[in-house]
Structure 1
Amino acid sequence: MAEFMPLVLFAVVCLVLMCGFPVAFTLAGTSLLFAGIGLLTGTFDPAFLNAMPNRMFGILSNQILVAVPLFVFMGVMLEKSKIAEQLLRNLGLLFGPVRGGLGFSVIIVGMLLAASTGIVGATVVTMGLISLPAMLRNGYSPSLASGTICATGTLGQIIPPSTALIILGDVLSSAYQQAQLKMGIFSPETVSVADLFVGALIPGLILVLGYFIYTSIVAIFKPEAAPAVQDRVPLSPGFIFELLKGLLPPLLLIVAVLGSILTGKATPTEAAGIGAFGSLVLAIAYGQFSLQRLREVMDATLQVTSMIFLIFIGAALFSLVFRGFGGEELVHEVFNDLPGGVFSAMLLVMLVIFLLGFILDFIEITFVVVPIVAPVLLAMGVDPVWLGIMIAINLQTSFLTPPFGFALFYLRGVAPPELPTRTLYKGVIPFIVIQVAVLGLLAVFPELATWLPDQIYG
C-alpha cells in the first residue's frame, strides 16, 4: 500500500479541488494530513518536512516572483483604463470596409490586451463586454464572434509578458535543478522567465496568424457570417490621430517591456516595474486616472498576488510530501517503463494536463502536476523551454475545449442570455483545431520554441 500513497495523495488533492475548496488550503491541508498518516505508519521521511521552512523562505524572497504583482498591476490598470474599448472602435473603422474586418480588429485588440494583462479571465471578460455586442450588432455569426473572443482571450496564456509563463518559469527552474542533481550535474544554470518569454513569441504569433487565416477563409466562403460593416475608411486627419492615439501608447509600452527583456537591458522583474509605471502614465494620459481607480487596481493586485503566493506555499508543501512518499521515483519508473521512451512520456503528460485543464485552473495544474512530471522529463533530456511552451499552449487549448473550458465560462458570464451555450461551444471548435495543429507543429519542430532563445541568449 505504501508505494501507492503518492498516487492516492494526487487523486485526493484533485478530488478536493473539484469540490470547490480553496487551492492553497487544499494543497497544504491534504499534504499535511497525508504526512501525518505517513509519520504514524512509518512510510514517510520526516526530513522532507524539515526542509519546508527553507523552501517557504526561498519562495517569499524570490526576486523573479516580484514580477507577478507588478505585471498584475499593469494588466488591471490597463483593463480599467478603457484603452481596449477605444482601440477596438478605431480599428473597427479602419478595417470596416473589409469582409471579416471587425473580426481582424478583435484579434489584434485581443492580442494586445493579452500581452498587456497576461490574465486570461480579464481578457475574455473585457473582450466579451466590448466586442461581442459590436460583432452581433454588425451581423457577424454568433458562433464566429464568440469563438474569436474566447480564442483571442486565451492568448494571455502564451503571449508575453504572461503571468502564467512567470509562474511556469519558476516551477520549471526548480524542476530543472532537481533533474540536474538526479543526473549528478552541479550547475548554477536554470530556466529563466526571459527564456520562456522569448520562446513563446514565435508560437504565439503563429497562433495569431492561424486565427487571421481562419477568419479570412470564413469571410471569403461565408460572407454573410463576417460581413463588411461600412463602405469606406474615414481617413481624415482627426481619425488617423485618434487611431494612433489608441494604438501607439499601449504598443510602445509592450515593446518597452519585452524589448528591455530581449535586449538584456532589464530582468523580467525590472521590466515588470517599467510596465506597471507605464500603465499608470497611460491611465493619466487617457484621463482615466483617479484615486478611487488606483485603490481598485491596488486592491485587485493585492488579492491576486496573495492568492498566488498562498498557492506557491501550499504547492511547495505538496511537492515535498509527494517526494517524501517516493512519488518522484514512482513517476520515473512509470515513464521509463513506457514503450516509446520520451515520446510516450511527453504524450502521456500532455494528455493528462489537457484533461485536467477541464476542471483545474492553470495555477493549480502548474503547481500540482508540473513539479511531479517536469523533473523526470527534464532528466530524460527534454528541453525545458520547449516543455514550458508545450505546457502553456496545451493549457490554453484545454481552456477552450467544451464542456468545461474556463474561457467558455468567462464569456458565458457576460454574453447576452439569448446567445445559446451550444453556440459558444460550436464557435470555439475551429480555434481548438488551430491550437492543436500548432501544438503538433511544436512537437515536430521544437526549434519554433528554442531557436529564438538560443539566438539571443545562446
Structure 2
Amino acid sequence: MIAILMFIVALILLMVGIPVAFVFGGVSIVFAFLIPELGFDVFSVLPFRIYGIMSNTTLMAVPLFIAMGLLLEKSLMAEKLLAAMTSMFRTTRGGLAVSVVLVGAMLAASTGVVSASVVMMSVIALPLMLRAGYDKGLAAGTIASSGTLGQIIPPSIILIILGDVMSVSVGELFMGAVLPGVVLVGLYIIYILIFSYLKPDAAPIAEDLQFVGIKEIIVAVIPPLLLMVSVLGSIFVGIASPTESAAFGVIGALLLASLNRSLNFKMLQYAAMQTVKLSGMIFMILIGATAFSLVFNELGGTDMILEFFSDDIGDVWIFIAFAMISIFILGFFIDFIEISFIIVPILVPVMHAFGIDPVWFAILIALNLQASFLTPPFGLSLFFLKGAAGESIKTAEIYKGIIPFILLQIVALGLVMLFPDLVFAFI
C-alpha cells in the first residue's frame, strides 16, 4: 500500500505542474527517507543505472533524430511540400485538408518531432485553410492531428523510448508501426472527404490556389522521400542500426537545407541548442524515473501489480483494456515521456506473464500515447497550435475540431488490437 501511495503522490505532483524529473527524484528520496527499512542504501545501484543510460547506444538515436527534425523544420521543406500537395488536390473538395494530412505524414516520416510539425503546419497551412473558407474546427483538428503523426510513423522518438523501456528492438518497432501509421492516415483522409461531402461549406474547393508545375512537385517531394527511404530503409533491411541511421539522417537534413539554400550558422545554432534542451529534459526524466522505480520496486509495487493481474484477474484482455484505458486517461493530464518512463515499466512484467508480444503491445501504447497530444486540457499539440495561430482561432474551436480525430485514433487502436497482423506485416 505504501508503494501505491508513492505512485499516487507522484501523479498528484505531476498534475500540479512540478517539473517531472524533480517529482520522480524527489518522491523517491522522501519515501526512502521516511521508511526505515529502506533508507538511502536503496540508491547504491543508481550510479550504475545512470552509467547504463549514458552508454546505451539505442538512446543515442534520440538527440540525433531530434537534431534531424529541427534542421528540417528550418529547411523550407514543409512550405514546398504543402505547395506541391495543394496543387495536386486543389480541385478536390476538402483537398487542402487532405494535403495537410499527407504533408503531416511526410514530415512525420522525415522528422519525428511533433512540436516542429505542428508549429510548421500551423504557420503555413492554417492561414491558407482559413482564407479558403474552411471551418475553423476542421482546420484546427486536421493540423493538430496531422502534426502528431510523428508519434506513430517512424522514426518516432516515442518508439525509441519504448524500445529501451520494454527491451524491444527499435528496428522491429519501426517496421511494426508502418501499417498502423498508414491506417491512421487513411482514416483521417476518409473522415475529411466524408465531412466535406456532407458539409460542402466547411471545406470548399480551393481552385484559386497557385498552381505548381510537375517539375516543382518532383523537386519538392523527391528529396524528403529519398531521405525517408534511406533512413528507414537502412534500418528495415538491417544495413544500419537506428542510431547509425539517425546520424545519416542528420547529414541528409543538412544536405536538404543546403539544397534549399537555407543552411546558415543561425540555423545550426538553433538546432544545436534545441537538441541539447530537449535531449537534456528527456534524460533527466529518465534518471528521475530510474530512482523512482528503484524505491517503488523495493516497496513491492511491481510484484503487487503482477500478482493482481496474473493471479487475481487472470484474463489477458482485461489487462490490455485496463492498460489502454489507464494510459488514455493519464494522457489528459501528463505527457508521453512521464507515461513511458513510469507507467510502462510497471506494465511490462504483467505483459511478459501473460505472454503478450512486446512489439504489438508497444505499438498499442504508442498509438494510445499519440492521443495524449490531442486530449484537452493539456494536449501539447493544442498548445503548439494555439500559440502559432494566435487570435485567428479560439481555443473552443480547437477543442471542438479535435474530437473527431481523437475518436479516429481510438478506432485505429481498436483495429490494431483486433488485427495484430497490421503490426507484423513487415517484421
TM-score range, shorter chain: over 0.9
Aligned position for 2:15: 18
The equivalent position to 2:206 in structure 1, one of 223, 229, 253, is 229
Between Structure 1 and Structure 2, how many residues are aligned?
427
In the aligned structure 2, how far is the partner of 1:434 from the partner of 1:156?
16
In the aligned structure 2, how far is the partner of 1:420 from the partner of 1:295?
33
8 Å contact kept, 2:310–2:353: no
Aligned position for 1:125: 119
8 Å contact kept, 2:153–2:178: yes
Aligned position for 2:150: 156
Aligned position for 1:78: 72
Aligned position for 2:27: 30
8 Å contact kept, 1:71–1:275: yes
State how 1:340-355 maps to structure 2 within 5 Å: 341-355=315-329
Q: What is the CA distance between 1:451 and its match in structure 2?
A: 3.5
The equivalent position to 1:207 in structure 2, one of 180, 184, 203, is 184
Moved more, 408-417 or 279-288: 408-417
| Residue 270 of structure 2 is aligned to residue 296 of structure 1 | yes
Q: What is the CA distance between 1:107 and its match in structure 2?
A: 0.6
SS at structure 2 position matched to 1:403: coil
Identity over the aligned pairs, expressed in percent? 49
Q: Letter of the aligned partner of 2:187 in structure 1? A: G
State how 1:104-119 maps to structure 2 within 5 Å: 104-119=98-113
Q: Letter of the aligned partner of 1:283 in structure 2? A: A
8 Å contact kept, 2:107–2:117: yes
In the aligned structure 2, how far is the partner of 1:350 from the partner of 1:37?
33
Aligned position for 1:425: 399
In the aligned structure 1, how far is the partner of 2:209 from the partner of 2:18?
54
What are the superposed Cα offsets for residues 82-121 of structure 1, whole Å, 9 maximum, x if unpaired? 2101211222122111111111110111111122221222
What are the superposed Cα offsets for residues 127-175 of structure 1, whole Å, 9 maximum, x if unpaired? 11111111011111111111111111111110000011101110010xx
Q: 1:166 to 1:368 in 2, by over 3 A?
A: same
Q: 1:234 to 1:420 in 2, by over 3 A?
A: closer
Q: What is the CA distance between 1:409 and its match in structure 2?
A: 2.1
State how 1:222-301 maps to structure 2 within 5 Å: 222-230=199-207, 234=211, 239-301=213-275
TM-score normalised by structure 2 residue count: 0.96
CA RMSD of aligned residues (A): 1.7
| Residue 187 of structure 2 is aligned to residue 193 of structure 1 | no
What are the superposed Cα offsets for residues 363-407 of structure 1, whole Å, 9 maximum, x if unpaired? 111001011111222222111001111011111123222333222
Q: 1:355 to 1:338 in 2, by over 3 A?
A: farther
Aligned position for 1:449: 423
SS at structure 2 position matched to 1:415: helix
Aligned position for 1:360: 334
In the aligned structure 2, how far is the partner of 1:294 from the partner of 1:416?
27
SS at structure 2 position matched to 1:417: helix
State how 1:131-146 maps to structure 2 within 5 Å: 131-146=125-140
8 Å contact kept, 1:151–1:428: yes
Q: Letter of the aligned partner of 1:154 in structure 2? A: T
Moved more, 296-305 or 28-37: 28-37
What are the superposed Cα offsets for residues 24-53 of structure 1, whole Å, 9 maximum, x if unpaired? 122112112111222x2x2x3877422222
Structure 2 residues without counterparts, runs of 5 or longer: none
Structure 1 residues without counterparts, runs of 5 or longer: 174-190, 454-458
| Residue 295 of structure 2 is aligned to residue 321 of structure 1 | yes
Q: 1:418 to 1:303 in 2, by over 3 A?
A: closer
TM-score normalised by structure 1 residue count: 0.90
Moved more, 372-381 or 409-418: 409-418
In the aligned structure 1, how far is the partner of 2:40 from the partner of 2:302?
16
In the aligned structure 2, how far is the partner of 1:29 from the partner of 1:45?
14
What are the superposed Cα offsets for residues 237-269 of structure 1, whole Å, 9 maximum, x if unpaired? xx2222111111111101100000011111101
